[in-house]
Structure 1
Amino acid sequence: MAGTDRTVETLAGGPAIVLVEPQLGENIGMVARAMANFGLSDLRLVAPRDGWPNEKARAAASRADHVIDAARVYDTVRDAVADLTWLLATTARPRDSVKPVRGPKAASAALRTRISAGQPAGILFGRERFGLSNEEVGLADEIVTFPVNPAFASLNIAQAVLLMSYEWMQSGGEEGAEEAPRFAPAEAEPAEKGDLHRLLDHAEGLLDRLGYFRPPERKVALSEKLRTTLTKANFNRMEVHALHGVLKHVELKLNKDES
């Protein structure tokens, strides 16, 4: 549908949109177009199948060139979200995880609150064919799922991004907004995902040395539960550094005992 007004300043900002191993360039282009429709601009691609840049993506973006040109490519999900402090994972399937689950409206309101406070946040979208793995969902703080027909719950990636982009823009409206409190406690600086992942790697490595993961075939499941538990805590930067200090003390004692 026509109607683009080139005299109006392009909206930008909002949460990062992270696409995990997107396949067709056309799908990436339609995602970029959906983002531009609702004022999003931070597109991150994890190992796109057909490489990047991609002219089919640009053609399908329908002049959302500012999103396509600024898109960044990463080798892994962890790299793509390392600078974020809060992450949502989209999924249509129930998971064994005990992470909080939100609908798109509540999720967008939570994103708006955090981003307005200067905390970088993002939304993780899975592969066109089978979505996100349990490990990838485990990197997120919360899950967002869409109220669709359970008998036909599959959305294509552009539809999913369009829904979240629309709710993001809607969350910026004034209608129904609660009166702001007169004062609020000081906000602790949230930890970046990269720092949190290094803490989790450190903890897992020490537990492995101590023989925690028994029997060996249960290691993956136990590791996922540990990472989910620690991610839910939503540690701030100071807490992550403090926990690193604790682990380093344990590591020094372990090295001494083994020498």
Structure 2
Amino acid sequence: MNSGDDDGRTGHTVGAVARIAKVTVRTLHHYDEIGLLSPRGRTPAGYRRYDEADLGRLQRILFYRELGFPLEGIAAVLDDDSVSPSEHLRRQHQLLTDRIAHLQKLAAAVEHAMEAEKMGIQLTPEEKFELFGEHYREEWEGEAEQRWGDTAAWAESQRRTGGYDKADWQRIKAEADALNARLVELFTAGEPADGGPAMDLAEAHRQHIRENFYDCTFEIHRGIAGMYVADPRFTAVYEELAPGLARWLHDAMLANAALRTGEQG
């Protein structure tokens, strides 16, 4: 394939490659100078010409650069003759999977911090890190207060949790973890979200909030369900437990609210 400014010769000019890959010409010159990407072709006047194999190598270079690999490390990986193209793809897939998992953990930490602030946790910074993980950041707490600070539920949770100590929060966290484990078990078993067992667990989820924090009405519970699918930070918590769990729990919470309000009405 020829570029639009190849002067009738095969291959791509350095300017064309820079535009295709969205890098600077200076970057391509540097890669050539250090032997990381030396184009296979040259014009009679000595100008660089990049073929499709060169473009493929550049694509791999830029991928590893995006993940933070140093240039010398990239050269070592790409110049390893024992690694096939398919193995490079497998490695790239694994690196991306690891990066996604890391970002999901960060999102889960945000969700824990927001829940903690919403519920009025009275803990030291050290205890917050211990309970909610190494990625906890205190600056996330302001967002929760701004969002819920003027609600009756916020006031009630502040009052009720004001006397909680570390042991209370450890108990509450253990109960939540046990409930999550039951949710995962039911979900992975293929139980429908609007089935009796799923709705019973959704009700247990609501009761856990009512018993420990504030009067979680069915209307409030519907709102929480909405956050589980609308806010990526909340979604990530359940997706990390099992892909698809966030939507399933959302549906179970709505089905439970519809059923029980119908019974009461």
User: TM-score range with shorter-chain normalisation?
Assistant: under 0.3
Larger gyration radius, structure 1 or structure 2: 2
More helix by share: 2
TM-score by length of structure 1 reads 0.26
